Structure 1
C-alpha cells in the first residue's frame, strides 16, 4: 500500500521526465550492448508499467496521452517522408513499387484471414486491423538496419517499403472502417465513399501545398534561418490537425506527402532540417514505445491465449513470406534478397497507436470482439521486434547479404600517401575506398588494385550511389585544407565526430586564420601537412605493420623506431582506432600497429 500511495503522487512532469529518461537511457544502453534498442524500450515500459505499477500513462499523464502519441506518430511519419528522396531509389524502385501496389492489398487480405481464423476475430474487426497490419514500421526498421549492416539494395527495399506502407496501412484501416460503418447502417454507401474520397483528397492537397509552401518560403528567404525548424514544426502539426478533422487518420497521409515534397525540393538548408528531425525522431520513438508498453495492463497481458501465439506465428511465417514472394515474383530482385525481405517484417509505433484508436470505435459500434485488438497489436509488435532484432543479422549473414563487418576506412583525396595507406589497409583485409574529384589523382590507387570513386564525396551522386555501410572512419587528406575541413564537418553527423579525421592544416601564425573547434575533424598522425607527407613519401617513407605482443611491447617498438609515426591500431575483430597528437597509441597486446616508417626502419617492421 505504501508503494501505491507513492505511485498516486506521480504527476505529469515527473511522468514525462521518467519517459524521457527510460527512452533515451534504453537507446544508449542498447548502443553500448549492441542490442536492438526497441527491445530494451519495450522491456523498460513493461517493467515500470504493468510490472511494478510505478507508471500508468492514463493516470499520470491523463487525457494528454492520446494527443501526444498522435502528434508523435505524425512527426515520425513526416520524418519518414523526408527520407524519400526519389534519387536514392534507383536500385530498389521496381521492388518497392511491387511491395506497395501488390504487397499491401495482398498483405491486408492475408492478415485479415489470419486474424479471423487464428485469433478468432469477426470479419469486421479483422478487416480493419488487417489493414493496419500492412505497416512494417520505419521507426523499427531503421535501428535494425543499422545493427545488421545489410547490403545497400535489400536495406533500401526494407526501408522504403516501411516508409511508404505506413500511411497506406492507416488508410486501408480507414477504408475498412467506412465499410463497417455502412454495414452498421450508420452511413449510406454514398456518404461513406464521399467522406473517404474527400478525406484522401484533402490530405493529399494539404500535404502537397504545405510541402511546396515550405520549400518556396525557405528557398526565397521568406523565413529566417533561425525560424525554419519552428515554422516547419508548426506547419506540420497544423497540416496533420486540419486533415484529421476532415477524415480521421488521413493526417498521416498528409504529413507523409509533405515530407516527400520537401525531401525532393533540393533545399539548401535540408541538412539542418534532416538532423533536427533525426534527433526529434529518436526522442519521439523512445517516448512512444515507453508510453505504449507502460499503458498495457496486467489483465490484458495475462489474457493472451494460445490463439495469440498462433496468430503471431502465422503472420511471421506465412502471411508475410507469401505476401513478399508473390509481390516480387518475376522481378529482378535476387532470390536471396526476397527470402531476407520475406522473413523480415517488424511492426512498430503506428500499428499500436492506430489499432487502439479503431478498436475503441469498433467497440462503440457494437463489435465487442474488437476489444482484443490492442492486446493483439502489442503482442505482434513485441514479438516481431524481439524476433527480428535477434535474427536479422544472422539471417543476412547466412544469406551473404551483410556488408563487410570490418571497420573500413574512407580516404578522401588521391595521392601517393593516400595510395600507400589504402594499400596497407587493404593488405590487412580491411575495406578501404579512395575518393577524389580529379581522375588523374586516382591513377596510382587504381594501379595498386585499390577501390576508388571518381567524384565529389559531398555530391548528390555519391550520396545516392556509394554504399558507405562498410566504412566507419573517414580521413580527409586532399591538398586543400579548406576542403578537408568542409568534408570532415559535413560527414561528422553521419559518421560521428569521433570517427572523422583529417591531416593537419597548414600552420597559421595569426589568430585570424584559426578555425573554431566545431569545424573539421580530429588531426591524424604526427601533425604533418599534406605537403610534408608528400615530401616524406618522395624520400622513401612507407607504411609498415607491427604486431604488439607481451614479448614485443609498444615501448620496444618506439625504441626500435624512434622516427616512426603511428597512424592506426588494427584489432583482431576487424575494428580500427586512428591515432594522432591527442590520441596516442595505447599499450595493448594483440594489436597490430600501422605506422609510417623511414626507409631504414621499413625493413624492420614485424608483420
Structure 2
C-alpha cells in the first residue's frame, strides 16, 4: 500500500500538477481559438494540433496523470453543457423551409447512417460485427462542437446551415443511445444477459431521460416566467439544473444524460423567456471555453501507441465513411424533398466528427474489450483518426466548397443600414457603387421608397424582430450602421446586434445632448460613433444643402496627407481596405490609411470638381457614376446634384 502511494506521488510529481495543468489547458485552448481567428483559419484544427503538442508530444499535460479519475466525468459534464446550449439554440419557430429536411436527417438519416457506418467498419476496417455495430451507432453524430465554428467561418446560407446544425445537435444524443443499444445486444451474447432484461433496462432508461429532460425544462421555464428566481440567480440555477438532470439520467442509463439535457435545452429555447438573450449569451461564452478545454484534453489523452495498432485498413475505412457512407446517407434521406440539389450535395459532403464521438467511442471501446470483444480496443484510435481527418478536411474545404456551389454569402463584408432616410439612401448608393453589399432596413414602408428606386436591397420591418432573423442573411452584413431619427432606437439596435457581431462592427450617429452628463449613457450601451460626432439632424441638413459622397483610392503617389490638403472640408465617413474590410471614421484627423485604401467622404457643394489628371480625379460621387480605380480616369466628375425630393 505504501509503495502504491509512493508510486502515485512520484507520478504526480512528474507533471505540472492539477492546478497548473488546468490553467495550461485553458490558455492553450483559448489561445488556439484566438490564433485561428487572427489567421482566418478553422479553430478546430488549431485546437487539435495544440492538444497533441502539449500532450503526447511534449508531455506537459497528461489528463490521467494530472486529473486522474476526474478526467472522464469532467469531459462528460462539459459535453452535457455543450449539448444543452445546442438544444437552446434550436428554435422550432424558425425552421421554416428546413423543417422537412431536418426531420428526414433525424428520422431516416440516423438509422440509415448507423447501418452504413456499420457496413463501412465491417467491410473496410475489418472489425467484428459487435464492434462495428457499437461504433457505427456512435458515428451517427456529426459533432456540434465542430459544426458551429465551421459555420461561422464559412458564412453559409441559412437553410444548409440550419440543416447541418440541427442534424449535429439532435443526432448527438441519438448516436450515444444507439451505441448503448448495440452494446446491450453485445452483452446479451457475451455476458449471458437476458435479452428481455437488457431491452427493458435500455427502454426504461431512454424514456426516463426524455421525460426528465422535458420536465426539467418546463420546471425551469415555470420558475423563470413567474419571477420565482431573481435575475442574478437565473444562470446559476440553470447550470445546477442541467447538471442535476444529466446526473440523474446518466445514473439510470449511461449516456442517456445527453438526451435529457438536449431535451431540456430545446424546451427552454422555445419558451420565449424574457431573459433568454442573456442566458444564451452566457451559455455561448461557456461553450467556447468548454469546447476549447475538451478538445485539448482529448487530444492530450491520445496514446500514440494506439495509433500504431492501425494498418492500411484504417485508410480504407476513412475513405468509405467520408466518400460513401456519409453521402449515401444524406442523399437517400433527402430524396424527394424540395431542397436544392446543391444543398443536398453540400450536406452530403460535410460530416465532421467531434468531441462526443471521441469521448463515447473511448468509453465503449474499453467496455467491449473488457466484455471479451478483442478488437474493441481499435475503436478509440479509429475514432480519433476519423475526427482528425474530418476536422482537417472540412475545416479547410467547407468554405471553398460552399462558395463553389453558390451556398456561401459574399466574402466581402456588407453594411446593414438601419433607417431609410435620404442620407442613408445616398450612402447606400455610394457603398454599392464601391462594390460593398448594402441592405437598408426600416419599419416605415414610406422611408424605403427612395432606396428601392435607387436599386438598393431593402427590408421592411423591425431589424430586431423574428422576421428579420428568418429573412435576412445576417452573415452577409458584418457591419451595422444605425442612422434613424430615433436616438433610443439606434442605441437599442447597436446594443442588441453588438453582442452578435462584436462591438467593433456596430456604429450609430451621435445622440442629441449626449455631451451633457444627465443624458450620457454607459459605454456598454450603443455603438461606436462616426462622422465626427454629427447627429442625424446634422447629416440630414448637410444632404439637403448639397453635400455629396465621393470615393478616393489612395496610392503610393497620392497619400492621405495629400488628400487632406486637397479636400480640407471633406468629412470622412468610412474607409475600405483592399480586402474589402470596412471601418467607419469618427475623428478624421486621427484617421490612418495606407496605399490601396479607399476613403468615402462627404464633400461640400462648393468643393468643385478635381483637376483633370490629378490623383483625385478618380474620386467621384458613386450615386451618379461607377467608382474608378484611383487616378486612372482623367475625366472629372460632374458637380453635385440636387437633393432627392
For Structure 1 versus Structure 2, the TM-score category normalised by the shorter chain is: over 0.9
- Taking the TM superposition and a 5 Å limit, the aligned residue runs for 1:453-464 are 453-464=459-470
Deviation at 1:186, TM superposition (A): 3.6
1:524 partnered with 2:538: no
Equivalent of residue 476 in structure 1, options 478, 482, 486? 482
Return the alpha-carbon distance in structure 1 between the equivalents of residues 285 and 207 of structure 2: 31
1:568 partnered with 2:574: yes
Equivalent of residue 47 in structure 2, options 41, 61, 66? 41
Equivalent of residue 80 in structure 1, options 77, 86, 102? 86
Which one scores higher on RCO, CA 8 angstroms, separation ≥ 6? 1
CA-to-aligned-CA distance 1:69-105 (integer Å, 9 cap, x gap)? 0100100110110111012211211111111111111
Deviation at 1:183, TM superposition (A): 2.0
Structure 2 unmatched ranges of 5 or more: 1-9, 611-615, 620-645
Return the alpha-carbon distance in structure 2 between the equivalents of residues 521 and 576 of structure 1: 15
Deviation at 1:187, TM superposition (A): 2.3
Q: TM-score, normalised by structure 2?
A: 0.92
Deviation at 1:7, TM superposition (A): 6.9
1:587 partnered with 2:602: no
1:76–1:284 Cα contact (<8 Å) kept: yes
1:295 partnered with 2:301: yes
Return the alpha-carbon distance in structure 1 between the equivalents of residues 416 and 397 of structure 2: 29
Return the alpha-carbon distance in structure 2 between the equivalents of residues 303 and 545 of structure 1: 63
- Taking the TM superposition and a 5 Å limit, the aligned residue runs for 1:442-457 are 442-457=448-463
Deviation at 1:539, TM superposition (A): 0.6
1:501–1:522 Cα contact (<8 Å) kept: yes
**Partner in structure 1 of residue 370 of structure 2:** 364
**Partner in structure 2 of residue 548 of structure 1:** 554
**Partner in structure 2 of residue 419 of structure 1:** 425
Deviation at 1:159, TM superposition (A): 1.2
Deviation at 1:544, TM superposition (A): 0.9
How many equivalent pairs are there?
A: 604
1:88–1:465 Cα contact (<8 Å) kept: no
2:440–2:451 Cα contact (<8 Å) kept: yes
1:433 partnered with 2:439: yes
Deviation at 1:273, TM superposition (A): 0.6
Equivalent of residue 132 in structure 1, options 138, 147, 158? 138
Return the alpha-carbon distance in structure 2 between the equivalents of residues 597 and 91 of structure 1: 46
Q: TM-score, normalised by structure 1?
A: 0.97
Deviation at 1:255, TM superposition (A): 0.1
Q: Which moved more, 1:597-606 or 1:72-81?
A: 597-606
Deviation at 1:185, TM superposition (A): 4.5
The 3 A distance-change label for structure 1 pair 582 and 570 is closer
- Taking the TM superposition and a 5 Å limit, the aligned residue runs for 1:95-494 are 95-494=101-500
Return the alpha-carbon distance in structure 2 between the equivalents of residues 358 and 51 of structure 1: 26
**Partner in structure 2 of residue 557 of structure 1:** 563
The 3 A distance-change label for structure 1 pair 516 and 249 is same
Give 1 or 2 for the bigger CA radius of gyration.
2
CA-to-aligned-CA distance 1:466-507 (integer Å, 9 cap, x gap)? 210111111111111111111111111100001110001112
Return the alpha-carbon distance in structure 2 between the equivalents of residues 583 and 382 of structure 1: 50
1:501 partnered with 2:515: no
Equivalent of residue 27 in structure 1, options 12, 27, 33? 33
**Partner in structure 2 of residue 93 of structure 1:** 99
Task: Name the SS for the 1:469 alignment partner.
Answer: helix
**Partner in structure 1 of residue 520 of structure 2:** 514
1:215–1:267 Cα contact (<8 Å) kept: yes
